[in-house]
Structure 1
Amino acid sequence: MRNKWILMAMLVCLRAGAIDLHGLPQDSLSLWVAPVESDRVDIAYRADQPASPASTMKLLTGWAALDRLGPDFTWHTRLMSTAPVVDGVLEGDLYWVGEGDPRFFGARLRELLDGLRQRGIRKIAGRLVLDASAYSRLSSADGFEQDEGESFMAPPDPLLTNLNVVWLRFFNDEQGVRVVLDPPLAGITLESHLTDGGGATCGDVRRWVLIKATGNTIFAAGKVPRDCDGSMAYLQPLEPEQFAAAAFAGVWQSLSGSGPLGVASGKVPEGARALASVTSDPLSRVLVDVNKFSNNPMVRSLFLTMGRQAPESGDTVADAERAVRQALVAHGLDGHGLKLENGAGLSRDERVTASLLGQVLRVAARGPYADELLASLPIAGQTGTLKHRFLDLGPALRLKTGTLKDVAAVAGYWQRRDGRRLVIVAFVNHPQAASLKPALDAVVRDAIRRYESDGI
């Protein structure tokens, strides 16, 4: 048996040594390639060296969430109170209790408040109290201060609403040029200085319109071509709790509701009853947004949810990391080299080996939730972050991409015509990683070509 493993190790080294780096610096690449249907490893090049995986870390977090929570797991958002309702008036505080629904968009907020109106409540005579106690603390994403205001930088929050962004929808039709906010935000003034931009081709509406937030005012100015009718752009005008409160009040007012009398933070008291509630989309649906569009706030919510669901220490972040490592141990995987910060790869500190991530993907492909994970991955040349890459390989190739300032990465599966599958994990950690993506793609193509012809 010992001789068998020595022989296998020698073959791995020989195969790794034979790979063409396509100009990649030797110490920049980590590569692990192996068939799903076999226990062998076909290529392992610096595969046990901890490296920054960028957003391919989302695969590890997503797999662990499926394993720990199941694909049908849902989040619940409730409006609760101990106060009586008299003649349509809630005579006290209303508590908004969130669990971190990653897809709590404007439509879900409207559904929640419509439930309040259906109960016959038209006025909130007390305060809106935000209960964000589902997380004891948030995981960090340090080192990205220059990206403040970007949607991918929205921090997770039990009451995260619309990913903390307001969408500006532009119109240019027979009623004139205008812009509206979705969701409406109470206390925010929308100041429009828009004119007709004529018959020009729209493209990105931000080519034509300047958008900025100053204090409690959102400014939109410029010329809007008729081709931009219905176009949208986003903005992050407020901190998460401020945004949630403003969105609540704005939607409530649009439903002809009045109140609340101010906003506070606190925990729902014992004995409170639910006046309205909504249930999220299942975890499997959340994973589609996480992986196809590399959504950081959503996967950070998944990470923290694992900690909330298994509160061994009461520290949500520490419990989340423990849950991920327990998933690895349960499947016989060694977490050597793994360093977690937020589970999203939006980190200067997170590390994983190509070998570990590859083994996770192989376990996932053999497991009960293989279809859910595979369906969440971008399809080469068709969807998500892979829409404009590997156009020649098409739907047989499904990869999660990862990009940071010094990182380019891919991880996922390629399927042969006979149905057999190949796991591919490749990280490039180098100051010129962005310019090295073509070489990375060439390495991936080589691995596929060899497997397709049974050459490895």
Structure 2
Amino acid sequence: MTMTQAWLGLLLGGLCAQAGAWDLHGLKPEEVAVWAAPVEGDGPVIAHRADAAMNPASTMKLLTGWAALNRLGPDYRWKTSLLSDAPVEGDALKGDLYWLGGGDPRFDNGDLLSLLHSLRLRGIRRLEGRLLLDKRAFADIGGADDFDEDAGRAFVVGPDAHLVNLKVAWLTFYRDGQGARAALDPPLSGVALQSDLKPGADAPCPDVRRFVAIESDGSRVSVSGSLPAACDGQRAYVNVLDHDAFAGQDFAAMWQALGGEGPLRVERGRAPDGARELAAWQSQPLPAALADINKYSNNTMARTLFLTLGREAAGEGSPRAAAGALRDMLSQRGIADLSALQLENGSGLSRRERVTARLLGEVLLDAARGPYASEFIASLPIAATDGTLKKRFADLGPRLRMKTGTLNDVKALAGYWQAEDGRRLAIVAIVNGPQAKTSAKALDALVSDLVRDYRGGAMRSSAKP
């Protein structure tokens, strides 16, 4: 594509603005949507196909996070509780224990141990009844349709009121005087580990998965390969069991590690109104979860946050309630035309979700100008530093913070550039089409051009729709 063709393509798509032609770096004009505007200015300076409905992939997480910050506040915390209406006699709880899941997206084994330690501090050691999972926090977890071929992979793990450790167990690999072996952490009673590891030749071990094969059918994990000595102590995660089985078996393993006995079995059940709280755990504030969601593009956590938004805003933890809450907030803020917006689970792990570059850009402007700007911007990956941008934009460095998005036929970037004088540019660039798979370098070059022109003062005029 010549410079003239690129310029004409942008004009036809609705680009108005700066002097000079624009280079799409080989991207097809009809497959790209671009929007950019100064945070401290008026109107966009770039708007190419800004009102086209685009699949945003994981940049959709920005809408969910923005809505959650504004609706829940930065000090929002998830609560996980253990309840019972049974008496305590000696060191025994003489009845059922209810685990009221709060849908904490970051709840891990350390948090579970702290919760159970609080129960042990009450003097309870034996659980003589059932452990009942109270799942009232979420009425409907929704789905992510058309990802059947990815079943079993960690990135498609669904949300759950009793999400623990993102429903993954860790394999720790050892190569010492006892040879080559692996251990499952936590030691789940319903998961069998088969190991066929052999000592391998000396070699560096930047990633143990280069040397071992890991297979799992949910209840059986097999590891095989030749393990170099340098892999001693390295870890890899594996997705096992369903949510209820994982939570119940993890609970039992942690309880036994604290010297506890029981429970008899694990089932679902709703705690009676008169049940008393025996132990509770509160999460870190919302920004901690938001940083994990955006920096590492965690779909499970984003979907959990989306459901939490629905529960707190509309009294129902469901995608329908969450979508309504998000739409209401966009309308209240006067943000863009919502006719193209389609929501499935709020994470971008979706073939259905759609957003316009303009809407996403206006959310970025609102976030940067709002009371929670620092929390929102701090959650984004920092170029050449961390998260999904750790190995990208080395020439621009930490002044660039952007959320990435990747699916089949989708590549996206959305975030901010901050100039040396403190001025900020909000940028959205989305590619939809067969070319997306190989478009990462072109998309990075496109964003770099926007930053270069902004730094050089070329962006002064305002694009009109």
TM tier relative to shorter chain: over 0.9
Query: Who is 1:405 aligned against?
Result: 408
Query: Who is 1:342 aligned against?
Result: 345
1:104 and 2:128 are equivalent in the alignment = no
Alignment match of 2:127 (pick from 116, 124, 128): 124
Aligned equivalents of 2:279 and 2:35: distance in 1?
A: 49
1:69 and 2:72 are equivalent in the alignment = yes
Alignment match of 1:417 (pick from 404, 416, 420): 420
Could you report, residue by residue, the CA deviation over 1:204-261 in whole angstroms, capped at 9, with x for unpaired residues?
Answer: 2122222223564322233221111121111112111111111111111121211111
- Contact 2:309–2:317, Cα closer than 8 Å, also in 1: no
Aligned equivalents of 2:128 and 2:339: distance in 1?
A: 55
- Contact 1:106–1:162, Cα closer than 8 Å, also in 2: yes
Query: Who is 1:197 aligned against?
Result: 200
1:39 and 2:42 are equivalent in the alignment = yes
Residue identity in the other structure for 2:332: A
Instruction: Pick closer, same or farther for the CA change 1:208–1:373 going to 2, 3 Å.
Output: same
- Three-state SS of the structure 1 residue aligned to 2:166 is helix
Q: How big is the shift at 1:440? A: 1.2
1:319 and 2:324 are equivalent in the alignment = no
Query: Who is 1:395 aligned against?
Result: 398
Instruction: Pick closer, same or farther for the CA change 1:218–1:16 going to 2, 3 Å.
Output: farther
Instruction: Pick closer, same or farther for the CA change 1:260–1:131 going to 2, 3 Å.
Output: same
- Three-state SS of the structure 1 residue aligned to 2:247 is helix
Query: Who is 1:147 aligned against?
Result: 150
Could you report, residue by residue, the CA deviation over 1:5-64 in whole angstroms, capped at 9, with x for unpaired residues?
Answer: xxxxx9963549942212111110000010000122100000011100000000111010
Residue identity in the other structure for 1:323: A
- Three-state SS of the structure 1 residue aligned to 2:458 is coil
Aligned equivalents of 1:198 and 1:274: distance in 2?
A: 55
- Three-state SS of the structure 2 residue aligned to 1:203 is coil
Query: Who is 2:308 aligned against?
Result: 305
Q: How big is the shift at 1:180? A: 2.2
Structure 2 regions of 5+ residues with no counterpart? Answer: 1-12, 460-465
Could you report, residue by residue, the CA deviation over 1:135-155 in whole angstroms, capped at 9, with x for unpaired residues?
Answer: 110121001111111111110
TM-score scaled by length of structure 1: 0.94
Alignment match of 2:216 (pick from 187, 207, 213): 213
Greater CA drift, 430-439 or 195-204: 195-204
Aligned equivalents of 2:131 and 2:173: distance in 1?
A: 31
- Contact 1:29–1:426, Cα closer than 8 Å, also in 2: yes
Instruction: Pick closer, same or farther for the CA change 1:121–1:11 going to 2, 3 Å.
Output: closer
TM-score scaled by length of structure 2: 0.92
Residue identity in the other structure for 1:279: Q
- Contact 2:59–2:412, Cα closer than 8 Å, also in 1: yes
1:242 and 2:225 are equivalent in the alignment = no
Percent of aligned pairs with the same amino acid: 54
Query: Who is 1:172 aligned against?
Result: 175
Q: How big is the shift at 1:176? A: 4.4
CA RMSD in angstroms, aligned pairs only:
1.8
Greater CA drift, 109-118 or 70-79: 109-118
Alignment match of 1:224 (pick from 223, 227, 242): 227
- Contact 2:14–2:48, Cα closer than 8 Å, also in 1: no
Residue identity in the other structure for 1:210: A
Alignment match of 1:29 (pick from 32, 36, 46): 32
Greater CA drift, 209-218 or 333-342: 209-218
Aligned equivalents of 1:436 and 1:187: distance in 2?
A: 43
Aligned equivalents of 1:38 and 1:139: distance in 2?
A: 39
Residue identity in the other structure for 2:43: R
Q: How big is the shift at 1:198? A: 4.1
Aligned equivalents of 1:409 and 1:87: distance in 2?
A: 59
Aligned equivalents of 2:117 and 2:227: distance in 1?
A: 34
Instruction: Pick closer, same or farther for the CA change 1:272–1:29 going to 2, 3 Å.
Output: same
Query: Who is 1:89 aligned against?
Result: 92
Aligned equivalents of 2:20 and 2:153: distance in 1?
A: 41
Instruction: Pick closer, same or farther for the CA change 1:165–1:122 going to 2, 3 Å.
Output: same
Aligned equivalents of 1:11 and 1:78: distance in 2?
A: 54
- Three-state SS of the structure 1 residue aligned to 2:439 is helix
Aligned equivalents of 1:348 and 1:290: distance in 2?
A: 19
Number of equivalences: 446
- Three-state SS of the structure 2 residue aligned to 1:419 is coil
- Three-state SS of the structure 2 residue aligned to 1:258 is coil
Instruction: Pick closer, same or farther for the CA change 1:123–1:342 going to 2, 3 Å.
Output: same
